[in-house]
Structure 1
Amino acid sequence: MQGYHRRDFLKISMATLAAAILPRTALAAIQASDERRTLSFYNTHTGERIKTCYFENGDYCPDGLARINHVLRDHRTGTISEIDPHLLDQLHAIKRNVQTDQPFSVISGYRSPQTNRQLRQNGGAVARKSFHTMGQAIDVRLPGLSTQRLRRIALDLKAGGVGYYPRSDFVHLDTGPVRSW
């Protein structure tokens, strides 16, 4: 270890270990909590609105998750898929951070592989293996909150991918590796 002393190595090792062990994000605090978690959605393509509890008494609620899966379905094909509950936890952390009961406006939730292929063929900036096709991504905006601020809050969670689309006025969130664009 040229350029480092043993003491420096130990300091760096301890800092890395502490960072890995200590909960650092709002998401970690929420996931550790047994509090009741409720989300509201407005699907911009279907006009559907829901407000539902998806987590209660220390566990995810199958009925609430099913209602969310339905509203976040692929609006082009009608295909419903399971949405990753950790994605919902990200949204809940954002909602708590801004202390709002406004529904998330959903631009895109689940996307079937067929729809994903179609969007790619039509020249859309769509990933070949999109997290949308696995129920692990959502494109949203939140009324009363700029998408720039929504992006900042999502980045601070350090819980997955965050894409910012200011021209289209939405933020992409996913449960993949932490990254941003």
Structure 2
Amino acid sequence: MAPPHNPHRRLFLGRGAAVAHAAAAAVLLPKAALASLSEEQDLARRLAFNHLHTHERLALVYAQGEQFVPAALPTLNHFLRDHYSGDVGVMDPDLFHLL
């Protein structure tokens, strides 16, 4: 008797194979492709937020490559303020890279 058909197992295996393929491709990239990836670091880094409490929206370029845009940091600090008291703190700029 054949085991019952399980579509979730096939979906899991298919996605797992796709992830493995992508990981192998990343490891096996030629040096020329890696060099072009380093050139992409000069691109603008963007963030976009929608504040659920104040209904404010923000979309901006906060860095150009590794250099922060000076006017963007106070704008982000103000947007991420305590919405109860209005107190504005100073966020660690490296946190924005993680976001």
Q: Which TM-score applies when normalising by structure 2?
A: 0.54
Percent of aligned pairs with the same amino acid: 36
Give 3-state SS (helix, strand or coil) of 1:46's partner: coil
Give 3-state SS (helix, strand or coil) of 2:85's partner: coil
Pairing of 1:95-106 with structure 2 (within 5 A): none
Partner of 2:51: 43
- The answer on whether the counterparts of 1:46 and 1:75 sit within 8 Å (CA) in structure 2 is yes
> What is the total number of aligned residue pairs between the two structures?
61
* Cα drift, residue 66 of structure 1: 1.3
Q: What is the CA–CA distance in structure 2 between the aligned matches of 1:62 and 1:82, rounded to whole Å? A: 13
Equivalent position to 2:82, from 67, 74, 85 = 74
Greater strand content: 1
Give 3-state SS (helix, strand or coil) of 2:95's partner: helix
Over 2 Å off, 4+ runs: none
Greater helix content: 2
Q: What is the CA–CA distance in structure 1 between the aligned matches of 2:50 and 2:88, rounded to whole Å? A: 16
Q: What is the CA–CA distance in structure 1 between the aligned matches of 2:96 and 2:78, rounded to whole Å? A: 14
| Higher mean C-alpha deviation, range 63-72 or range 52-61 | 52-61
Partner of 2:91: 83
Q: Which TM-score applies when normalising by structure 1?
A: 0.31
Q: What is the CA–CA distance in structure 1 between the aligned matches of 2:75 and 2:96, rounded to whole Å? A: 13
Q: What is the CA–CA distance in structure 1 between the aligned matches of 2:88 and 2:73, rounded to whole Å? A: 12
Q: What is the CA–CA distance in structure 2 between the aligned matches of 1:82 and 1:54, rounded to whole Å? A: 15
Deviations 1:47-98 (A, max 9, x none): 110101110154101211111111100111101112112211111xxxxxxx
Give 3-state SS (helix, strand or coil) of 2:42's partner: coil
The 1:67–1:58 alpha-carbon spacing in structure 2 relative to 1, beyond 3 Å, is same
Q: What is the CA–CA distance in structure 1 between the aligned matches of 2:56 and 2:67, rounded to whole Å? A: 26
Q: What is the CA–CA distance in structure 2 between the aligned matches of 1:60 and 1:53, rounded to whole Å? A: 9
* Cα drift, residue 34 of structure 1: 3.1
The structure, 1 or 2, with the larger RCO (C-alpha pairs under 8 Å, 6+ apart) is 1
Question: Structure 1, unaligned stretches of length 5 or more?
Answer: 1-28, 92-181
